[in-house]
């Protein structure tokens, strides 16, 4: 097997918070990401799925070097991103770019589209001022906008169009890896399919590698080759798209899939739902051993005494569970 493009090893990100009174402060760690291994091969789209607060976005921020790691490494093409100094990081930056969730917040309202899109190119000296207009009009056409939009400000666009601009900005540096953090969650149903189709087309045409983060299982199903399911800062199951959706092995994945509403009245009414009890526990004080055991419908004694290893149960299908569900 060839070398992965991105190799994340034992990634841990803890956020310190302070509890107690002013004089008797106690430092506690929120274990946002608690030991994650993930490999992304060239040309692959990995879907990272999980509920709010499970650490998906922290993983994205850690890869982008936007937050400090407590331990672990993020290796992009043989270079550990966390060990680079700021100058080296600047050189490496064009190779990995991010698309954020909310286009209204991620685009500066006081800049024109031209300014927004040209800034990264000029900063990294990847284009001269004379060729900019040409590059940008091609870019805008590629994401389905018109070159005439270049002089406009963000408020003149709708949410879907803004997300197209954000995608164009991420693509402008010809990155090898794109981290997309919930890129369609803020959009309306009819717009969501437009942006999803655009992303799929770009992935195909430019043979992009992407980490696609979402809480929406149907979107992940649609776009990704492989899927990783997160729960409380850890990956509990990963495998090929087909495998995860047809034969989920971790009880959490199973419950998650059964909870997704399907737009089909007959199936909805006849379907058996696994309703999980309670809510995800706080990452400040996560349950010991298997973090899912307090909510797991199939819990046994072993689950609260021994931490399950993240092990393959089949070629390419990894699960962190003592008693994986057989299909």
Partner 1 sequence: MALLEVRNLKTYFYTRYGISRAVDDISFDIQKGETVGIVGESGSGKSVSCYSLLRLIAVPPGRIESGRAIFNGTDLLSCAQRELRKIRGNAISMVFQDSMSSLNPYLTIGLQLTEHLLLHKGISKFEAREKAISSLLEVGIQDPESRINQYPHQLSGGMRQRVMIAMALITGPLLLIADEPTTALDVTIQAQIIDLINDLKKKKDMSVIFITHDLGVIAGISDHVLVMYGGKIMESGETRDVYYKPIHPYTSALLKSIPSVEQKDKELYVIPGHPPEGFEDIKGCVFASRCEYVQDKCMVTIPELMEVSNRHYSSCLRIQEGALLDVLKEGDS
H or E element, residue 223: helix 217-223
Point out which span in 6-14, 22-30, 81-89, 211-219 binds partner 1 (CB under 8 A).
Answer: 211-219
Terminal alpha carbon distance of the chain: 28
Please report whether residue 196 would count as binding partner 1 according to CB under 8 A.
Answer: yes
Please report whether residue 241 would count as binding partner 1 according to CB under 8 A.
Answer: yes
Local structure of residue 258 (DSSP, 8 states): H
Degrees, nearest 5: CA angle 182-186-190: 110
Q: Which of 205, 269, 315, 326 binds partner 1 (CB under 8 A)?
A: 269
Please report whether residue 115 would count as binding partner 1 according to CB under 8 A.
Answer: no
Q: Which two tokens stand for residue 26?
A: 């106690």
Give least dist CB 261 to partner 1, A. Answer: 3
Which segments of 170-276 are extended strands (E)?
177-181, 209-214, 226-231, 234-240
Q: Which of 3, 264, 309, 311 binds partner 1 (CB under 8 A)?
A: 264
Please report whether residue 113 would count as binding partner 1 according to CB under 8 A.
Answer: no
Short-list 139, 95, 93, 96, CA closest to 116 = 139
Point out which span in 74-82, 88-96, 213-221, 307-315 binds partner 1 (CB under 8 A).
Answer: 213-221
Please report whether residue 310 would count as binding partner 1 according to CB under 8 A.
Answer: no
Q: Which of 107, 256, 303, 321 binds partner 1 (CB under 8 A)?
A: 256
Please report whether residue 259 would count as binding partner 1 according to CB under 8 A.
Answer: yes
Give least dist CB 46 to partner 1, A. Answer: 15
- Pseudo-torsion of CA 279, 285, 288, 294, nearest 10°? -20
Residue 211 to residue 26: CA distance in whole angstroms: 36
Residue 29 to residue 24: CA distance in whole angstroms: 16
CA pseudo-torsion sign 269, 272, 277, 281: negative
Q: Which of 190, 205, 301, 315 binds partner 1 (CB under 8 A)?
A: 190
Please report whether residue 152 would count as binding partner 1 according to CB under 8 A.
Answer: no
Nearer CB in complex with partner 1: 168/198: 198
Point out which span in 107-115, 121-129, 203-211, 212-220 binds partner 1 (CB under 8 A).
Answer: 212-220
Give CA separation, 205 vs 151, 169, 170, 189, 209, in Å: 27, 17, 15, 25, 12
Please report whether residue 242 would count as binding partner 1 according to CB under 8 A.
Answer: yes
CB 210 within 8 A of CB 178: yes
Please report whether residue 247 would count as binding partner 1 according to CB under 8 A.
Answer: no
Q: Which of 138, 158, 207, 288 binds partner 1 (CB under 8 A)?
A: 158
Size of the site for partner 1 (CB under 8 A): 43
Point out which span in 82-90, 162-170, 205-213, 214-222 binds partner 1 (CB under 8 A).
Answer: 214-222
Q: Restricting to residues 3-62, which ones interact with partner 1 according to CB under 8 A?
A: 51-52
* Contacts of 91 by beta carbon, 8 Å cutoff, 6+ apart: none
Please report whether residue 240 would count as binding partner 1 according to CB under 8 A.
Answer: no
Give least dist CB 62 to partner 1, A. Answer: 22
Nearer CB in complex with partner 1: 132/276: 276
Residue 32 to residue 232: CA distance in whole angstroms: 7
Burial code (b: 16+ CB inside 10 Å, e: under 16) for 236-271 equals: bbbbbbebbbebbbbbbbbbbbeeeeeeeeeeeeee
Please report whether residue 108 would count as binding partner 1 according to CB under 8 A.
Answer: no
Site residues for partner 1 per CB under 8 A:
51-52, 158, 160-161, 188-194, 196-197, 215, 217-219, 221-222, 241-242, 245, 255-269, 273, 275-276, 279-280
């Amino acid at each position: 097997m060839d070398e992965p493009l991105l190799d994340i090893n034992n990634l841990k990100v803890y956020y310190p918070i302070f509890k107690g009174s002013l004089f008797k402060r106690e430092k506690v760690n929120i274990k946002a990401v608690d030991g994650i291994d993930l490999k992304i091969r060239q040309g692959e789209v990995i879907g990272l799925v999980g509920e709010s607060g499970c650490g998906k976005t922290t993983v994205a921020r850690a890869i982008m070097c936007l937050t400090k790691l407590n331990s672990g490494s993020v290796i992009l093409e043989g270079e550990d991103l966390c060990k680079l100094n700021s100058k080296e990081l600047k050189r490496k930056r064009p190779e990995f770019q991010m698309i954020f969730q909310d286009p209204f917040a991620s685009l500066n309202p006081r800049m024109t589209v031209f300014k927004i899109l040209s800034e990264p190119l000029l900063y990294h000296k990847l284009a001269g001022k004379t060729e900019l207009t040409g590059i940008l009009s091609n870019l805008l056409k590629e994401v389905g906008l018109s070159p005439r939009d270049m002089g406009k400000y963000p408020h003149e666009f709708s949410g879907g169009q803004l997300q197209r601009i954000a995608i164009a900005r991420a693509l402008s540096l010809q990155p090898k890896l794109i981290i997309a953090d919930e890129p369609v969650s803020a959009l309306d149903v009819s717009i969501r399919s437009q942006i999803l189709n655009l992303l799929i087309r770009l992935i195909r045409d430019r043979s992009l590698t992407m980490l696609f983060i979402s809480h929406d299982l149907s979107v992940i199903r649609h776009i990704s080759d492989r899927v990783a399911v997160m729960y409380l800062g850890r990956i509990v199951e990963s495998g090929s798209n087909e495998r995860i959706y047809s034969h989920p092995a971790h009880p959490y994945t199973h419950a998650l899939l059964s909870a997704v509403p399907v737009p089909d009245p007959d199936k909805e009414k006849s379907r058996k739902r696994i309703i999980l009890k309670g809510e995800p526990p706080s990452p400040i004080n996560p349950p010991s051993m298997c973090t899912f055991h307090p909510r797991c419908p199939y819990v046994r004694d072993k689950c609260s005494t021994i931490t399950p290893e993240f092990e393959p149960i089949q070629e390419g299908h990894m699960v962190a569970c003592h008693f994986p569900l057989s299909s």
